[in-house]
Amino acid sequence: MHIVFAASECTPWAKTGGLADVISALPKTLVKMGHKVHVYIPYYRQVAKAVSNASVVLPSVTVPFPSYNRFARLLDGGIVDGVQMYFVDVPELFDRESFYATPSGDYPDNAERFGAFCRAVIEATKVIGVPDVFHVHDWQAAMTAVMLRSIYYFDPVFRNVPAVLTVHNAGYQGWFPPRTMETLLLPWEMFTMDKLEQFDKVNFLKGGVVYSDAITTVSQTYAQEIQTPEFGNGLEDTFRRRSGDLFGILNGADYGEWDPAIDPYIAAHYTADKLDGKRECRRDLLHAFRFEDVDEQTAVIGVVSRFATQKGIDFIVDILDRLLQEDVVLVMLGNGEEYYERLLTEMADRYPTKMRVQVKFDNVMAHKIEAGSDLFLMPSRYEPGGLNQIYSLKYGTIPVVRATGGLEDSIDEPVDGRGNGFKFSGYDSNGLLDAVQRALTAFQDKKTWRAMMKRAMEQDFSWDKPAREYVRVYERVIQNRS
């Protein structure tokens, strides 16, 4: 079948989080299964810097607004691993320093920016080729589903073309003032509580949930969690109404990039059957963070994260004084909320022989931490899917996680000790410390630990199984519309 992906990010051109990795990896897997996939993302300034010679496929796509038109160019991003990439170029909307916001707040015209993107994608497919299904992602592309069922309702080309929406994080919804209905030429009768309106705002994600033929999210547990007030962020009732069309599909890992047997960024390659290289990766990581004379019995704990409360960084901060009394060293990589950046740096200065922090995003260092650490911390307050815990498993770096979302679905700590990691429940930092201490106890038994590493590395969290599940969703919605 022919599938069109519409999203605001895709690795390696534009990335702020896991969404970009999914939009890169899932289409490649679908192509290997014999499907035809086109991916559309905006032509941001960062994309233009990376792709300076993209040829023009469509020189002018008209995007109407109430008193004016905008005109988009469609640029050819080339075929990458069998996937055709397209960039939607509207310079006045996307040629900016950042994707969504400045340090002072969101761009005030984000509704127009991503509304124009969605409409340009639909218009472009009229010429390039109408797909069997649109697969749209998060609030930035959700308006594609809304427009198909409203503006394009009477267009015979799109009448039977379904849309699948994937919610990567229900915490980001795209709220805009009521006049957005007029800006995007949407009928006012859609501005109701059971459609696009919420608290007198237009909610892009809500519109996508209401008007998509199916909704997926990035783990089975998160699909249940978003139907509760704790995780639904005000949309729990809307998700519950669509529960019959809501599917949880755990994200996979791109083992072409994250595999210690072939990883070009790490000091030595290794596999589940030949683990010697991990010891060299550990030495390399400690050297990169300027640690000296760390004993083999000392556990190296790694963190690669956005420094934010959502990621449980407050839990880590709360236990640091007690954690660093253990026989451990801690390496942390990331950036995020200024408060945590400053606090973690200060803590590292206080414990110069036990803790190091690098406040930045560094892909090479992220690979080194995955390969060189013994334990990996992910105490997220919520984690829709999560990827780092899956990367950690592949690298034999045992995860310690909070039992939520994709972390609950991928990490198992059975009572017989034959699991692949350690986890805790509740909003209590003491639970994190207890889980870490259980892990450190296991770490001291090298035979048990080596067996756990081997078990973790042999698990298959590739995209093959998730891709098959997505295909079943596509087939279901196509059949329902035929």
Q: What is the mean pLDDT of the chain?
A: 95
Residue 420 in tokens: 């692949």
Contacts (Cβ under 8 Å, ≥6 apart) of 87: 13, 40, 41, 42, 43, 47, 51, 54, 74, 75, 76, 77
Find the mean pLDDT for residues 7-35: 93
CA distance 439 to 116: 50
* φ/ψ (deg, to 5) at 135: -115, 110
| Helix (H) / strand (E) containing 82 | none
Choose the weakest-confidence range: 5-14, 334-343, 411-420: 411-420
- In the predicted model, is pLDDT for residue 53 greater than 90? no
DSSP 8-state code for residue 129: -
CA distance 198 to 189: 14
CA distance 456 to 450: 10
User: How crowded is residue 407: how many other Cβ atoms within 10 Å of its Cβ?
Assistant: 28
Domain 2-252+464-481: CATH class, spelled out: alpha beta
pLDDT, tens digit (0-9, with 9 covering 90-100), for 438-460:
999 999 999 999 999 999 999 99
Q: What is the pLDDT of residue 427?
A: 85
DSSP H helix total and E strand total for the chain: 19, 20
Confidence of residue 482 (pLDDT cuts 50, 70, 90): confident
Residue 439 in tokens: 């892990």
Residue 393 in tokens: 């498993």
pLDDT, tens digit (0-9, with 9 covering 90-100), for 419-437:
999 999 988 899 999 999 9
Q: Which residue has 């013994």 as its token pair?
A: 374
Q: Span 276-458: which CATH code?
A: 3.40.50.2000
Find the mean pLDDT for residues 321-325: 96
- DSSP secondary structure string, 190-251? G-STTTTEETTEEEHHHHHHHHSSEEEES-HHHHHHTTSHHHHTT-HHHHHHTGGGEEE---
Q: What is the pLDDT of residue 436?
A: 97
- Same fold yes or no, 2-252+464-481 and 276-458: yes
Instruction: Report domain extents, the chain.
Output: 2-252+464-481, 276-458
pLDDT, tens digit (0-9, with 9 covering 90-100), for 60-109:
999 999 999 999 999 999 999 999 999 999 999 999 999 999 888 899 99
